[in-house]
């Protein structure tokens, strides 16, 4: 190591067998994962704009390592958004469209309510950065599209029974009512999670009546 903190030419040219290379790759993956997990944990705890120093402290690494794995905090946030979108999709369980309508509504509301309560800290953090981040907006749009496809499948019998124009309007109304934005609005207005679930349930049932 030279005085600049970079590997010297001699160190750079040291031969490394497959085991050493694999070990470095494994450590790199673990460190990158620890950084992403640390930032996610801080956001979930209410720190909506974690600094590199706080992320490094939570991950128990040097701050310098963050910028070794990510060009800047924007790149880190994009990686965190990718991980979060994967976690969201994993929590969305299939709902059989052949079940009775009241059962489908019940299951959908329970899923969305639990999901929205869980993702609220991350969504609020993401909203601070989305106007300036194409990567975050892309991830957001992917999750919204996934949620819309679920609605199309869950309420397929009811939607197919309508003319194209009315079907499009109903799907848009269902999409808005089962969105995080709707949930955040009613929760911010003072409704408890239980009351918000009941309000969502009544609205969906009325739209499909």
The answer to the question of residue 1 being in a domain is no
The answer to the question of residue 20 being in a domain is yes
Candidate from 38-42, 102-106, 109-113, 116-120 with smallest mean pLDDT? 38-42
Find the helix packing angle between 101-129 and 180-188, rounded to 10°.
Answer: 80
**Domain boundary pick from 70, 91, 108:** 70
Specify the pTM: 0.74
Q: Are 95 and 150 in contact (CB under 8 A)?
A: yes
The answer to the question of residue 195 being in a domain is yes
Model confidence pLDDT, tens digit, residues 172-204: 999 999 999 999 999 999 999 999 999 999 999
Query: Are 60 and 86 in the same domain?
Result: no
Query: Are 95 and 59 in the same domain?
Result: no
Tell me the CATH number at 34.
Answer: 1.10.10
Query: Are 15 and 97 in the same domain?
Result: no
Query: Are 112 and 185 in the same domain?
Result: yes
Q: Compute the distance between CA of residue 109 and CA of residue 103 in angstroms, rounded to an integer.
A: 10
Query: Are 164 and 185 in the same domain?
Result: yes
Domain containing 22: what range? Answer: 9-70
Query: Are 99 and 66 in the same domain?
Result: no
Per-residue pLDDT band for 10 (boundaries 50, 70, 90) equals: very low
**Domain boundary pick from 70, 92, 113:** 70
Query: Are 146 and 46 in the same domain?
Result: no
Query: Are 50 and 82 in the same domain?
Result: no
Q: Compute the distance between CA of residue 56 and CA of residue 41 in angstroms, rounded to an integer.
A: 12
- pLDDT attached to residue 21: 58
- The SS3 assignment for 148 reads helix
Q: Compute the distance between CA of residue 78 and CA of residue 84 in angstroms, rounded to an integer.
A: 10
Q: Report how many domains make up the chain.
A: 2
Closest by Cα among 31, 178, 45, 202 to 121: 45
Per-residue pLDDT band for 28 (boundaries 50, 70, 90) equals: confident
| Percentage of residues of the chain with pLDDT beyond 90 | 55
**Domain boundary pick from 28, 47, 70:** 70
The answer to the question of residue 3 being in a domain is no
Average pLDDT, the chain: 87
């Amino acid at each position: 190591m030279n005085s600049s903190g970079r590997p010297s030419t001699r160190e750079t040219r040291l031969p490394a067998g497959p085991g050493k290379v694999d070990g470095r790759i494994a450590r790199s993956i673990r460190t990158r994962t620890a950084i992403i997990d640390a930032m996610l944990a801080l956001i979930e705890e209410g720190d909506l704009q974690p600094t590199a120093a706080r992320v490094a402290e939570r991950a128990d690494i040097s701050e310098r390592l963050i910028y070794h794995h990510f060009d800047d905090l924007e790149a880190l946030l994009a990686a965190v958004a990718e991980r979060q979108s994967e976690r969201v999709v994993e929590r969305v369980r299939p709902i059989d469209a052949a079940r009775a309508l009241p059962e489908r509504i019940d299951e959908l509301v329970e899923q969305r309510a639990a999901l929205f309560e869980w993702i609220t800290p991350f969504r609020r953090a993401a909203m601070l950065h989305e106007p300036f981040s194409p990567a975050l907006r892309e991830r957001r749009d992917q999750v919204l599209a996934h949620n819309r496809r679920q609605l199309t499948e869950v309420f397929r019998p009811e939607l197919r029974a309508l003319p194209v124009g009315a079907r499009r309007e109903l799907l848009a109304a269902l999409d808005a009512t089962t969105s995080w934005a709707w949930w955040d609005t009613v929760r911010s207005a003072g409704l408890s999670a239980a009351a918000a679930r009941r309000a969502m349930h009544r609205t969906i049932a009325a739209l499909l009546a």
